[in-house]
Chains A and B, each alone.
Chain A
């Protein structure tokens, strides 16, 4: 995948992720053109677009357009499902997601995207695993904040040790429930 864009029906960009190095000028140009092209399409039309030398796969969810650019040999339908899976993830994380969630918590949306797609390739396709990774990170920061707040209140140094302990425990908790799939041993020939 080359890039992913989220924009509203009004053409406002909500999220952009570029997996190919491009200059800001190019990015802006591409975004502008693409938003225009996609918004001009009618609802019953094909979700795939040939645009320049790329293939654009887009889908509209409520007022948001999700739009991915892929190479010619990539599978369009699976890209459509990548978009869908991402929406599912957002939905699960925010609890029936709406555009406002993404506007106000766009950094969270980015974090989820980074756990799901990395460097333009699907990194983890198990919904549970993605959310687990996100929650772990969220949890960590919450804990830290609490600890720091507590330490500020108490004015003592004990929290450092406490925090370390907590972190340690949390890491243990979230250690793998390793799926039993020894069946891959066949590969190790």
Chain B
């Protein structure tokens, strides 16, 4: 029956409408839009067009606001308004009518209304709020087309705050019988996930259902969400790998309906999406990667047709193969693919080949060697894009030997490039290379000069900063430093004598700083000459006032002796009446200091660049001021996020009918908060809350762990990075020995550029040899952020492990004295580098320092202690009350059961009454058995270690050392255990406090002892404790709670499950938490409750709970970073276990 109906009705439209063919809706020549368009095309000038459009807009405006306009006319008007907007004329008056049309129109009118809305407005537009109701209505409509339209508009834009209003409806659509609706619903959820991830957290299992949808379209759509989620948390979705592989296998095998083929390739979009997901999943994960090798191989094999779409798949395959755990035969095939791309005549493929090469050259530098001639050709390609990509590739393979040639090529490109973005990017790269591989002073300074003059004022501010830092901190030898500085001074004096007016401001600032600081090095150069040169800069018209301050600073450093003072006086007189306060201040300084040479010598000591200056970033010197202000009734400082939050709470729309209000504010602030712990600790550090500060300790100094440092105080720091497995695959053995390499390098630096020969081919060969020199040997390839297994030989070596990472905290004295601007810039710079510290690069000084740290932190783990060591150190083993307690002499057959009992009898008297944790064996060696338990005291946590001598001989010189990264371990008694009788038990007691909260804290230790035969034995152990052992209830009143709440800055929010649904669910849940985690319930009011606890010692954490929609929204705050996160973890677990 349905067939008949179908057949009848498919012809229905042609009966019903005259222009039923969709394509025949061609030129509706009589329409007003048609007239408008034709009118525009007939015009000859831009001015006429403007007039016509303005006229048109005026008439549209009149009509839309007229009450007699029907919806159908409105539709027509809207289309015209869209057209006018597209031409670049504003038609904002029509926005509201577009929304109205979407609301009131039927079918097509609605469709046009929605279209107009999606074209006119963007996500943050306030009018979008008016659309919410319309969308809501349409989502509930029985008309599929209307639902489709609503979902389409929702997936393009929707106000973030209003998501809860429509979320249930969209979720519901996931079960819709029509696949088009399901697909659009999935995409709408994807959009929600992108703009407000925590709002869709609870529907993750539904995503999984979408992934299993029987319709390939819906499944494909769900992959967008999965790709996003997997990128954020690859570990959470490893279990899906096999499913993705299965899907890909089926797609590649052609199991999908023919509809999804594109140029006879099965579902290429789906394939590429899957490959991207797999590459994220397989990254650094061998076992996961192994699952996908087969399907990758098959994909490579199947994609053989000569069409763009197969190349697209191949390209993605190659990217995936290089991203996951390497497999040699796949790598080989991928390398072949890249070769085909690079050699291809099609320019698009060539480009992608180069891009792929850039990507893989980090892992396999040989590949670049194979294609060197192609690369050389591309370097002279007429298409700038190809050229640019080639330079990118060269940048990745730069080493000390080819740096001059590559930098030359880059500078060449820079001179021709007109695009600002390219210039900024390339300039930064040149500067990086020049600093990393300075072949000699002259080259370095000249390259940097070009960088400054080409990069001008667009380049990133850290380039001049790091350059100045480098100059001031110097390198290995004093002689070298002097030469470099002298060369810089000479070169700058020459520049200033030329045409300084053409130089960019940043460059002038650098010049004036260097001259101010180092021009004394050139003895024959009179300070007065320099002063005059600098004064000339001040007179130039286009010199910015910032540059002028730099110049004045430099003059302050230089004004010495007769002629200089007079120049200085003249200048300072001019500027001491300047309107710019900074300039005026500098002029004043110049005036005073030029007159009082003694004072000047004290304020600006010459060559004090290396003297460290402590910077108190916590601003603790302001504490007094702050407390005074507080006492005088000033409001306490609140960090910006907290202020915003309060503002939001006060002002935000009440979203009660739609959903949670707490999660909404969460989305606006908690994301940013959690991701930037450094920022947080900074802001709270600045809050002037002194208790806050004392808790943190570490946050008062800049955190520089893991900051990539290429240049240290002593110059270039040789990079030694953790060797990644990836790079170890098929790395060729070094072609030359390091010493030979060194020779080559030095000879190279004498003849930096190859002499061009007339034959072009030969020239290319030569260029190739200079570009790819040293590439074969792994030691000299610069791998961006990748491993560099052997240290680079370098002219300027690091001084050794003498400098600590703290060095960079100390900003050189002279820099600060020189200019507060420099100071600020440098600070910024440090902070910046702090932020971008994820790079897995660490300098040797750092590594050595780290390893020192490690060895001190973990005790001497792997090192067998020698006798002298023991004498030198202060052993921390104690006997209980100073006496080794005698154990019952009989050795046990079964060491565990009875021994446990007897061990507990050895608990120190003061702990005996308290409940202790299970006594767990720690380690046992030939003669000693160690067991441990912890005892929760009211104000501390005691760790008790039992040492049991299981041998028949006495054991001498027992030494027990404990340490922990997260804990402070202190020994309760300090008399060490010296010896232990046969089958005796010694007890050591430690008290633990938390230094840095983490979910589990671990104590590691080593015990060593002397056997009767005279040899020393040692054993290691570790003991893990939950953080809950350190949690104690905190008894506070509600008022105290309130003040504390405002003062704390680290917070976390999460929804917890309630343990029952009844009326008393909140109390019941809180009771569970109280019992299990020792929290103190401060007060329960209605559906809200406040809870407090403290981490030993005196580190409070507050929790605010609110029952909403069947869940418990918990909000935790504490002055201690990480503590809320850890605590919420335990709350979750406690409630789950319940």
Residues on A facing B (Cβ under 8 Å): 13-19, 21-24, 28, 44-53, 73, 75-78, 80-81, 84-85, 93-95, 100-101, 103-108, 110-111, 114-115, 118-119, 121-129, 133-146, 166-167, 169-173, 175-176, 178-189
Contact = CB atoms under 8 A, between A and B. Distances in A.
Interface in B94-111: 106-108, 111
A77 B115 contact: no
Chain B interface size, as a band, is 35 or more
B82 interface: yes
A106 B348 CA distance: 30
Contacts of A44: 347
29 contacts: A19-B156, A21-B157, A22-B122, A46-B386, A50-B422, A52-B421, A77-B315, A77-B352, A81-B312, A95-B24, A104-B33, A110-B119, A118-B187, A119-B155, A119-B156, A122-B269, A124-B217, A125-B267, A125-B268, A126-B217, A140-B145, A142-B13, A142-B16, A169-B5, A170-B9, A176-B215, A178-B215, A186-B247, A186-B250
Given A118-B152, A189-B243, 20 more contacts: A46-B385, A48-B352, A53-B421, A75-B272, A75-B315, A93-B23, A111-B115, A115-B152, A118-B187, A123-B184, A123-B187, A125-B267, A133-B180, A137-B149, A141-B111, A169-B9, A180-B257, A181-B215, A181-B216, A186-B250
Nearest to A142: B17
Given A78-B272, A110-B119, A141 B180 contact: no
A179 B311 CA distance: 28
Residue in A134, A175, A181 with the greatest tally of chain B CB atoms within 10 Å: A181
Interface string B391-424: 0000000000000000000000000000101100
Contact of B270 (A18, A125, A141, A185): A125
A16 B87 CA distance: 10
Interface in B183-219: 183-184, 187, 190-191, 208-209, 211-217, 219
Nearest to B112: A107
Contacts of A21: 122-124, 157
B5 A172 contact: yes
B1016 to A, nearest CB: 54
Nearest to A16: B86
Do most interface residues of chain A lie in helix, strand or loop, or is the interface mixed?
Answer: helix
A48 B156 contact: no
Contacts of A114: 115, 118, 152, 156
Contact of B37 (A101, A104, A183): A104
A183 B266 CA distance: 15
A45 B347 contact: yes
A110 B112 CA distance: 10
B218 to A, nearest CB: 10
A55 to B, nearest CB: 10
A14 B556 CA distance: 61
A31 B419 CA distance: 16
Interface string B608-626: 0000000000000000000
B107 A78 contact: no
- Closest 8 pairs between A and B when the two form their complex, measured CB to CB: A77-B312, A141-B108, A95-B23, A188-B212, A126-B259, A21-B122, A179-B257, A21-B123
Given A48-B385, A119-B187, A135-B22, A183 B27 contact: no
B687 interface: no
Nearest to A72: B355
Which of A13, A133, A136, A182 counts the most B-chain CB atoms under 10 A from its CB?
A133
Contacts of A141: 107-108, 111
B850 interface: no
A94 B20 CA distance: 12
A124 B257 CA distance: 13
A144 B10 contact: no
Contact of A77 (B17, B247, B311): B311
Given A78-B312, A140-B145, A186-B246, A105 B25 contact: yes
A101 B115 contact: no
A21 B26 CA distance: 32
A178 B214 contact: yes
Nearest to A124: B217
A181 B312 contact: no
B22 A173 contact: no
Interface string B121-147: 011100000000000000000011100
Interface in B361-407: 382-383, 385-386, 388-389
Contacts of A45: 347, 382-383, 385
B379 to A, nearest CB: 15
Given A16-B86, A118-B156, A140-B107, A104 B312 contact: no
Contact of B6 (A17, A137, A144, A173): A173
Contacts of B6: 173
B262 interface: yes
A77 B308 contact: yes
A48 B152 contact: no
Contacts of A111: 111, 115
A100 B243 CA distance: 47
B83 A13 contact: no
A121 to B, nearest CB: 5
Contacts of B28: 104-105
B259 A118 contact: no
Contact of A49 (B12, B212, B214, B385): B385
Contacts of A51: 419, 421
A143 B388 CA distance: 56
Interface in B76-101: 79, 82-83, 86-88, 90
Interface string B704-735: 00000000000000000000000000000000
Looking at B312, B388, B389, the one whose CB has the most chain A CB atoms below 10 A away is: B312
B9 A179 contact: no
A158 to B, nearest CB: 16
Given A19-B156, A136-B145, A167-B143, A93 B123 contact: no
B2 interface: yes
Question: Which of B124, B208, B220 gathers most chain A CB within 10 Å?
Answer: B220
Given A28-B88, A46-B386, A136-B145, A123 B348 contact: no
B17 A145 contact: yes
A138 B217 contact: no
Contacts of A180: 257
Nearest to A52: B421
B1125 interface: no
Nearest to A44: B347
Interface string B292-314: 00000000000000001101100
Contact of A110 (B16, B22, B115, B308): B115
Nearest to A169: B9
A76 B934 CA distance: 60
A106 B107 contact: no
Contacts of B16: 142-143, 146
Contacts of A119: 155-156, 187, 190-191
B489 to A, nearest CB: 38
Contacts of B269: 78, 122, 125
B408 to A, nearest CB: 22
A114 B24 CA distance: 21
B1023 interface: no
B797 interface: no
A107 B79 contact: yes
B840 interface: no
A117 to B, nearest CB: 10
B221 A176 contact: no
Nearest to B125: A21
Contacts of A167: 143
A22 B267 CA distance: 32
B487 interface: no
B661 to A, nearest CB: 24
B351 A104 contact: no
Contacts of B20: 142
B87 A93 contact: no
B738 to A, nearest CB: 37
A13 B86 contact: yes
Contacts of B389: 50
